[in-house]
Amino acid sequence: MWYIWFFIVVIVSGQNVTGPITQDFQDWLNRNGYAQDDFVRADLGNAGSYGGRKNSSDKIAKEPVIFIHGNSDSALNSKSTGGVMSIATGWTNSINYFLSKEYQSRELYATSWGNTNAMEASQRTHDCATLTRLRRFLEAVLAYTNATKIDIIAHSMGVTLGRKLVQGGLVTGGNCDLGKSLESYVDTFVGLAGANYGLCNCMGGSQQTCNKQNGFWPGDSCGQNLYTCSINPPLYPCSNPTYSAYLTSLNNNPIKIASYVYSAWSQDDDLIMFKDLVWGRPTSLIPNSTAQKVYSKLTHMQTKENTAADQYNMVVQHTI
């Protein structure tokens, strides 16, 4: 069904940033037990990853920023290399902007997860393999840069993956433990167009990505409301709907994942739809957010591609 396109980016612009991660970072990864994690993602050519020192003597002056993309996307624009039905554009625009503000590659990091075949988007979930690998990437960046604080900018499914990477602990719907919380290491977490309470188009949970354990199931009812997730206000009194076990655990965790948490979304998101509302509440609003920014006339993908300046201000200026 059409909703499998959730979290897929289709805008191409600002393509002068190229990866993969630098040779210095690759050498460090190989020396420190990360060789099998394939953070380079050479299958996506120069778009599979980004970041690292060009020379081992390069100084890291700014808090490293880690970018986490969504379903069927990639670290950088890989539309021309991603294979069948690949429309991934990655974090090219955002990294370009940060570079224009005197950041260096050694302060900006991304790796691709999954593949960019949009026809397989409906099969992807918050699974242990993906979460464990991305958690190791965060840990690797922390160790490689020797940073006391990092910033995380996430889009779409990257938001609900990224939040768990920081929270750590057991993965609901899986059989893995991500380890201790990393909250003390995260200065700013920016969540763009995430589905923290699921997607109304996932009612019924028939697709794997919509499943009731570790997918985006929003719940099929709330009080007397049945299969009317998108109606606002609900027809009947509605509170505490039952939704995906993974998302419920994520949202019930009292840990604030960063010193500053920003949520941003568009009321005209063409993939989340319904003005971002799920049972009457914004699905892109991360619990305990420091602040939120609501756009109009931006599509789902434009919340990433067209908001680099806002992302920078949230991370550097702590303003929204």
Q: Is 105 part of a structural domain of the chain?
A: yes
Hunting for tokens 């768990």 — which residue is that?
Answer: 164
Alpha helices in 147-232 (DSSP H): 157-167
| 3-state SS, residue 218 | coil
C-alpha angle 44-45-46 in degrees, rounded to nearest 5: 115
Contact 283, 198 (CB under 8 A): yes
**Structural domains in the chain (count):** 1
Residue 86, pLDDT score:
59
Strand pairing category for 277-278 and 281-282: antiparallel
Residue 133, pLDDT score:
98
Residue 10, pLDDT score:
34
Rg (the chain; Cα; Å): 18
Contact 236, 228 (CB under 8 A): no
Residue 14, pLDDT score:
41
Residue 15, pLDDT score:
42
Contact 190, 264 (CB under 8 A): yes
Per residue in 48-102, pLDDT (tens digit) is 999 999 999 999 999 999 999 999 999 999 876 545 555 688 999 999 999 999 9
Angle between helix 245-252 and helix 157-167 axes, rounded to 10 deg:
50
Distance (Å, whole) CA 103 – CA 247: 34
State both tokens at 187: 């200065």
Distance (Å, whole) CA 144 – CA 29: 8
State both tokens at 74: 């990639």
pLDDT tens over the chain, length 320 residues: 434 444 433 333 444 799 999 999 999 999 999 999 999 999 999 999 999 999 999 999 999 999 999 999 999 998 765 455 556 889 999 999 999 999 999 999 999 999 888 888 889 999 999 999 999 999 999 999 999 999 999 999 999 999 999 999 999 988 899 999 999 999 999 999 999 999 999 999 889 999 999 999 999 999 999 999 999 999 999 999 999 999 999 999 998 999 999 999 999 999 999 999 999 999 999 999 999 999 999 999 899 999 999 999 999 999 99
Distance (Å, whole) CA 111 – CA 260: 23
Phi, psi at residue 266, to the nearest 5°? Answer: -115, 140
Q: Is 4 part of a structural domain of the chain?
A: no
Q: Is 3 part of a structural domain of the chain?
A: no
Q: Is 1 part of a structural domain of the chain?
A: no
Per residue in 279-297, pLDDT (tens digit) is 999 999 999 999 999 999 9
CATH number for the domain that contains residue 222:
3.40.50.1820
Hunting for tokens 């699974």 — which residue is that?
Answer: 127
Residue 83, pLDDT score:
53
Contacts of 142 (CB under 8 A, 6+ apart): 64, 150, 182, 185
Residue 269, pLDDT score:
96
Distance (Å, whole) CA 17 – CA 120: 27
Q: Is 6 part of a structural domain of the chain?
A: no
C-alpha angle 98-168-139 in degrees, rounded to nearest 5: 50
Owning domain of residue 112: 15-317
Residue 9, pLDDT score:
35
Distance (Å, whole) CA 242 – CA 236: 16
Residue 10 C-beta-side C-alpha neighbours within 13 Å: 10
Q: Is 118 part of a structural domain of the chain?
A: yes
Hunting for tokens 């206000």 — which residue is that?
Answer: 233
Contact 20, 105 (CB under 8 A): no
Distance (Å, whole) CA 199 – CA 261: 21
| 3-state SS, residue 262 | strand
What percent of the chain stands above pLDDT 90? Answer: 85
Contacts of 79 (CB under 8 A, 6+ apart): 12, 86, 87, 88, 89
Q: Is 162 part of a structural domain of the chain?
A: yes
Q: Is 256 part of a structural domain of the chain?
A: yes
| 3-state SS, residue 183 | helix
